[in-house]
Amino acid sequence: MVEDKKKTTAKKTTAKKATAKKATAKKATAKKAAKKIEKIPIIVDVPRVKKIYIDEVVPILKKEFGYKNPMQVPTIKKIVVNIGIGEALDSNSALNAANNDLMKITGQKPKQNRAKVSIANFKLREGSVIGTSVTLRGKRMWQFYDRLVNIALPRVRDFRGIKRSGFDGRGNYSLGMRDQSTFPEIDYNEIDKMRGLQIILVNSANSDEEGMRLFELLGMPFIKLED
pLDDT per position as a tens digit, 186-216: 888 877 778 888 999 999 998 999 999 999 9
* Mean pLDDT calculated for residue range 168-184: 87
pLDDT in the model for residue 20: 60
pLDDT band, residue 130 (cuts 50/70/90): confident
Residue 227 pLDDT exceeds 50: no
Mean pLDDT, to the nearest integer, of 89-111? 81
pLDDT at 7 > cutoff 60: no
Give the mean pLDDT of the chain.
79
Name the residue with higher pLDDT: 203 or 37.
203
Rounded to the nearest angstrom, the gap between the alpha carbon of residue 11 and the centroid of all alpha carbons in its chain is 67
User: What is the number of other CB atoms lying within 10 angstroms of the CB of residue 42?
Assistant: 4
DSSP tag of 124: B
Q: Which residues contact 79 (CB under 8 A, 6 or more apart)?
A: 135, 136, 141, 144, 145, 199, 200, 201, 202
pLDDT higher at 4 or 207: 207
Greater confidence, 4 or 186?
186
Where do the domains of the chain lie? 1-43, 48-217
Per-residue pLDDT averaged across 117-131, rounded? 68
pLDDT score recorded for residue 28 = 61
The pLDDT value given to residue 2:
46
Check residue 80 and give its pLDDT. Answer: 94
Identify residue 49 by its one-letter amino acid code.
V
Lowest-pLDDT range of 71-80, 89-98, 133-142, 180-189: 89-98
Q: pTM for the full model?
A: 0.74
Residue 217: per-residue pLDDT: 93
Among 189, 168, 166, CA closest to 177: 166
CB 132 within 8 A of CB 98: yes
Q: What is the mean pLDDT of residues 9-33?
A: 59
Higher pLDDT, 17 or 170: 170
Per residue in 173-188, is it b (16+ CB within 10 Å) or e — as a string?
Answer: bebebebbbbbeebee
CATH superfamily of 48-217: Ribosomal protein L5 (3.30.1440.10)
What whole-number percentage of the chain has pLDDT above 90? 29
Among 214, 183, 187, residue whose Cα is nearest residue 196: 183
